Structure 1
Amino acid sequence: MDKAFEQRTKAPGSVPTRNQILTIGDMEDFKNDVLQELKQIIKDYISGAPGKKWLKSAEVKKLLGISHGFLQSLRDSGVLPFTKIGGSIYYDYEDITFMMTTNKSVS
Structure 2
Amino acid sequence: MQASELITKEDLKEFKSELLTAIEKLVQLNGQGQSKKWLKSNEVRKLLKISPGTLQNLRINGTLSYTRIGSIMYYKLEDINKLLEGGMQ
Q: TM-score, normalised by structure 2?
A: 0.62
TM-aligned CA deviation for residue 74 of structure 1: 0.3
Deviations 1:25-79 (A, max 9, x none): xxxxxxxxxx9974421xx3xxxxx711000000000011000000000000000
Greater percentage in helix: 2
Root-mean-square deviation (CA, aligned residues, Å) is 2.2
| Structure 1 CA distance for aligned equivalents of residues 41 and 68 of structure 2 | 11
1:69 aligns with 2:28: no
User: Identity percentage over the alignment?
Assistant: 47
Unaligned runs of 5+ in 2: 1-22
Letter in 2 for 1:92: K
**Matching residue of 1:53:** 37
Number of matched pairs: 62
- Larger RCO: 1 or 2 (CA < 8 Å, sep 6+): 2
| Structure 1 CA distance for aligned equivalents of residues 60 and 52 of structure 2 | 12
Matched residue SS, 1:73: helix
Letter in 1 for 2:48: L
Alignment of 1:13-92 (within 5 A): 38-39=26-27, 40-41=29-30, 44=31, 51-92=35-76
Unaligned runs of 5+ in 1: 1-34, 45-49
